[in-house]
Amino acid sequence: MTDLSTFPITRRWPARHPERLQLYSLPTPNGVKVSIMLEEIGLAYEPHLIDFGADDQKTPEFLSLNPNGKIPAILDPDGPGAKPLALFESGAILVYLAEKTGKLLSADPATRYETLAWVMWQMGGPGPMFGQLGFFNKFAGREYEDKRPLERYVAESRRLLGVLETRLEGRQWIMGDDYTIADVSLLGWVRNLVGFYEAGPLVAFDKLKTVPAWLERGLARPAVQRGLTIPGRA
């Protein structure tokens, strides 16, 4: 029987199935990267909801796993060397799970590094930029009289979508015929941008061709549909 009791996070979120990978998350664009990935690769896991409304991410137990206080994070009882591995940062988790299972990341070195470049692009570009646009368009930021921050993030989000639009020309997925962690990393963010953040008109999403078609293909995947709702909200 796997013993995870040495990890403080399991005191607040006990593992009913300690032999399974433990996921600590919330269905946000960053959080669903990992739940979608886990559903795609078919690895057994146990999800735990980290409730931001209750400040779960600020508790000592969660900070013991991720000192940055962000989701998602995982605790894999079967890590390298058959020892438990605690890991945070969604991009790192995607790479780890891909390499652990041999899925959604090519073994060919050149293709692998190109895929990783697009994952890093998502983490440094669409993730933070779309998130800021959401803040200034839908949340407290929209009350600011100075509209220059909103205009800045609208312009940069449009530019980033243009990069993705060009990349997808003649391709079904970001890496061509193969669906990879690059797609997994981006689907939730583009979906949120035009859906939850209500920013489609601002970024002229309806004038794009390849990105909306890619998004539709991605959202039609059963694993994506399941992952978007995990962990279930209270």
pLDDT at 3: 81
For residue 128, say if its preceding peptide bond is cis, omega within 30 degrees of 0.
Answer: no
Is the whole-model pTM more than 0.85?
yes
C-beta separation of 134 from 193 below 8 A: yes
Q: pLDDT of 110-127, one tens digit each?
A: 999 999 999 999 999 999
Which residues have a Cβ under 8 Å from the Cβ of 52 and sit 6 or more positions away? 26
CA angle 188, 191, 193 (to 5 degrees): 105
Q: Write down all domains in the chain, each with its CATH number in brackets.
A: 9-104 (3.40.30.10), 109-223 (1.20.1050.10)
SS (HEC) of 97-122: HHHHHCCCCCCCHHHHHHHHHHHHHH
End-to-end CA distance of the chain: 30
DSSP state letters, 117-159? HHHHHHHHTHHHHHHHHHHHHHSGGGG-S--HHHHHHHHHHHH
Q: What is the pLDDT of residue 85?
A: 97
Q: What is the phi/psi pair of residue 26, to 5°?
A: -155, 140
CB 65 within 8 A of CB 58: no
Q: Which of 128, 62, 119, 115 is nearest to 92 (CA)?
A: 119
Q: What is the DSSP letter of 183?
A: H
pLDDT at 114: 98
**What residues in the chain have per-residue pLDDT under 70?**
1
* Maximum Cα–Cα distance across the chain: 58
Looking at residue 133, its pLDDT comes to 97
Q: Is the peptide bond between 72 and the residue preceding it cis, with omega within 30 degrees of 0?
A: yes
pLDDT for 2? 73
Cα radius of gyration (the chain): 18
